[in-house]
């Protein structure tokens, strides 16, 4: 059957001309560049789709009666473990006696190597009141200094042991965790646990107590991705002086929610730091005090 010539004009899929089907080097280069661009865009869009973002929200904390965990990891290169004590006081000035604690003290040599350990099961300081009550009983303290009691054998041994440790350049690392009530208060690491007469025998004055320290880690709960604890790896070294470091801390309860709906309760905090040098007329002894004026909820 003869073909109708006018039927060719209705062909919707005409063949390309032969010179357009010829393969060239320039065409190959354009093809490769196109594939690279398409692959790059695909990977970028896939990465954007799979990336997670942290969203911050604020709400009112309605929880009551919970405790606040405090994780401590600090080094004192110039104070032996025998003279250091950890203490916590609530907003009324009362010692937190029934604390759940898990605190260790590690003896360090002058090079920072561990040479001994000690576990703290009781945070109550025997001589705390004698060192911190500056408004009452001054006459009583003066009278005690005039009639200094005779040391017993244990006290004499402790004085000799601590002096030997100071000569050897011993330090101490305090680490562990303690639970306190969610109320305003403070905790401190200092020599306040010593009897005042023993402390005088050891240091021969509060101005000779070197409270240089390194805060390796201080946190108020478990860590989550992206958390920033402002006191981590903080170093404070004193030379030919002494005093008290005060860290005013504001704690904010925080909940970190994972994509799996799991909730991690923890706390964030901000801090303001002060240093109070010891004056010759001061009765107080140096130390490191962490104060929480109030809890943000």
Q: Mean pLDDT for each 10-residue chunk of the chain (297 residues)?
A: 64 72 84 95 93 80 80 92 84 56 87 82 44 40 44 81 89 88 82 82 84 93 90 91 90 88 90 86 77 49
pTM tops 0.75: no
Three-state SS letters, the chain: CCCCHHHHHHCCCCCCCHHHCCCCHHHHHHHHHHHHHHHHHHHHHHHHHHCCCCCCCCCCCCCCCCEEEEEEEEEECCCCHHHCEEEEEECCCCECCCCEEEEEEEEECCCCCEEEEEEECCCCCCCHHHHHCCCCCHHHHHHHHHCCCCCCHHHHHHHHHHHHHHHCCCEEEEEEEEEEECCCEEEEEECCCCCHHHHHHHHCCHHHCCCCEEEEEEECCCCCCCCCCCCCCEEECCCCCCEEEEEEEEEEEEEEECCCCCEEEEEEEEEEEEEEECCCCCCCCCEEEEEECCECC
Question: Residue ranges of the domains in the chain?
Answer: 67-292
Looking at residue 147, what is its pLDDT?
39
Question: What pLDDT is recorded for position 292?
Answer: 67
Question: What is the pLDDT at residue 296?
Answer: 37
């Amino acid at each position: 059957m003869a073909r109708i010539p006018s039927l060719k004009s209705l062909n919707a899929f005409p063949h390309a001309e032969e010179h357009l089907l010829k393969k060239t080097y320039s065409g190959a280069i354009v093809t490769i560049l196109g594939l690279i661009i398409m692959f790059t865009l695909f990977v970028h869009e896939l990465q954007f789709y799979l990336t997670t973002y942290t969203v911050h929200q604020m709400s009112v904390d309605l929880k009551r009666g919970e405790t606040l965990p405090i994780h401590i990891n600090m080094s004192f290169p110039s104070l032996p473990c025998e003279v250091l004590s950890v203490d916590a006081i609530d907003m009324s000035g009362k010692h937190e006696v029934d604390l759940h604690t898990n605190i260790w003290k590690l003896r360090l040599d002058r090079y920072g190597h561990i040479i001994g350990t000690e576990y703290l099961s009781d945070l109550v300081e025997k001589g705390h009141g004698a060192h911190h009550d500056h408004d009452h009983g001054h006459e009583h303290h003066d009278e005690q200094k005039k009639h200094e009691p005779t040391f017993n054998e244990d006290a004499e041994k402790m004085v000799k042991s601590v002096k030997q440790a100071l000569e050897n350049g011993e330090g101490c690392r305090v680490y562990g965790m303690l639970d306190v009530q969610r109320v305003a208060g403070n905790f401190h690491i200092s020599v306040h646990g010593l009897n005042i007469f023993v402390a005088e025998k050891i240091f021969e004055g509060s101005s000779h107590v070197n409270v240089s320290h390194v805060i390796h880690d201080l946190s108020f709960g478990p860590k989550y991705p992206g958390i920033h604890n402002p006191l981590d790896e903080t170093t404070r070294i004193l030379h030919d002086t002494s005093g008290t470091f005060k860290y005013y801390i504001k704690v904010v309860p925080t909940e970190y929610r994972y994509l799996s709906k799991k909730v991690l309760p923890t706390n964030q905090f901000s801090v303001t730091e002060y240093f109070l040098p010891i004056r010759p007329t001061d009765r107080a002894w140096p130390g490191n005090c962490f104060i929480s004026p109030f809890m943000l909820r």
